[in-house]
Amino acid sequence: MSTPHLFQPMTVRSKEIRNRIWVSPMCQYSCENQDGMPNDWHLVHLGQFAAGGAGLIMAEATAVNPAGRISSEDTGMWNDEQRDAWARIVRFIHEQGATAAIQLGHAGRKASDYRLFDARCGTTKPISEGGWRTVAPSALAFPGFDVPEELDIAGIDRVVDDFAAAATRSVQAGFDVIEIHAAHGYLIHEFLSPLSNIRTDEYGGSLENRARLLLRIVRAVREAIGDHHGLFVRFSATDWAEGGWDQDQTAVVAAMARDAGADVFDISTGGLIDGVEIPVGEGYQVPLADHIKSASEVATSAVGLITTSEYAEEVLASGRADAVMLGRELLRDPHFALRAARDLNVHVDYWPRQYKAVQWKARQPADN
């Protein structure tokens, strides 16, 4: 019997990823002292997925500069202390045989929020409480948030430089893969979508102009990380809104980003517009990953309510994506990949040696 698709390794640049069950980036809002430093929580949180057999562990949206944080408790990669704190986590992930990835982002007009588990989440934290002035392509507010400042060209140049510097530090910390966060209504997505970008300069208007910031960042990050590291882009492939960003524009820009040096497209949706109706259900974003994969002949990962090994295998076996990313199901069961191997009758050699007895027991008669 051939190996199920979920457990076939995938090579991205010089890295072989041991399987195609990947951890979706999940903000933990858990930095102490508002210093952007990952700590013991991040080590345990990400480390459990590596011990649990996932192929690639994607660290949360990590800000390339302080103004790019969603909340004051977000992780950062804008200084060497943060880089060194990440290096400890990367070492642990590698010791478990998993691939270490980090999502780099800038939250744009949705920055300076309260963290998710604060009742005030969804409103701008005032400067008097440690918040900051937000920036965006245009001075258009997201509902609940303050009106952002329109970025000028020098400000745009700084954002590109900050992504490149953060990518350099990520490689120094040992990360194998860098993901650029161009989704969920944050800065890069705000440039892409005509609903949040009404600029009249070379960064607004045509698709080419709206994609200019992303493509500059892809090129700058590729130059910073060299040829051996993987570069992913997470897109929201639709705003789920009339006149907004959609799957056809995503497919065109994904092809441009591939030519600029990106390897894999991580396909999510939404986040730009409040109150839109999203047809949520099992694998509801898979058709978008499928569309972008076939329209642009690029590698994609699918994410969103993929919760069983059988369904995840079906997504890959039908050729609709190259890998699956899981978020909440992995919070429920960090050992999802090891369980999936058992469900699909696959022998994997990456059970943590400390857990080998469990594996042995499971293969013996119950009374043994």
Ligand X SMILES: Cc1cc2nc3c(=O)[nH]c(=O)nc-3n(C[C@H](O)[C@H](O)[C@H](O)COP(=O)(O)O)c2cc1C
| Active-site residue set | 186
Phi, psi values for residue 73, rounded to 5°: -95, 10
**What is the rounded CA–CA span in Å between residue 280 and residue 287?**
12
| Distances from the Cα of 364 to the Cα of 34, 337, 342, angstroms | 50, 21, 13
**What is the rounded CA–CA span in Å between residue 203 and residue 191?**
7
Closest distance to ligand X from the beta carbon of 128 (Å): 27
Collect all residues with Cβ–Cβ distance below 8 Å to 254 and sequence separation of at least 6.
Answer: 233, 235, 262, 265, 292, 296, 298
Closest distance to ligand X from the beta carbon of 153 (Å): 27
For every residue of 104-165, DSSP letters joined together read EE--GGG-SBPPTTSTTTTSBPPGGGT----EESSS-PPTTSPPPEEP-HHHHHHHHHHHHH
**What is the rounded CA–CA span in Å between residue 47 and residue 59?**
10
Q: What angle do CA 59, 65, 68 make, to 5 degrees?
A: 75
Q: Which is nearer to ligand X, 136 or 330 (CB)?
A: 330
Q: Which two tokens stand for residue 348?
A: 């994997």
Q: Which two tokens stand for residue 27?
A: 């903000």
Positions that interact with ligand X (CB under 6 A):
24-27, 60-61, 103, 181, 183-184, 234, 268, 303-306, 326-329
3-state class (DSSP) for residue 101:
strand
Q: Which is nearer to ligand X, 268 or 351 (CB)?
A: 268
Closest distance to ligand X from the beta carbon of 25 (Å): 4
Terminal C-alpha separation, the chain: 28
Q: Which is nearer to ligand X, 132 or 311 (CB)?
A: 311
Q: Which is nearer to ligand X, 60 or 290 (CB)?
A: 60
Which residue in the shown chain puts its C-beta closest to ligand X? 327
Q: Which is nearer to ligand X, 28 or 124 (CB)?
A: 28
Q: What burial letters (b/e) apply to 3-30, b meaning 16+ CB within 10 Å?
A: ebbbbbebebeebebbbbbbbbbbbbbb
Q: Which is nearer to ligand X, 302 or 351 (CB)?
A: 302
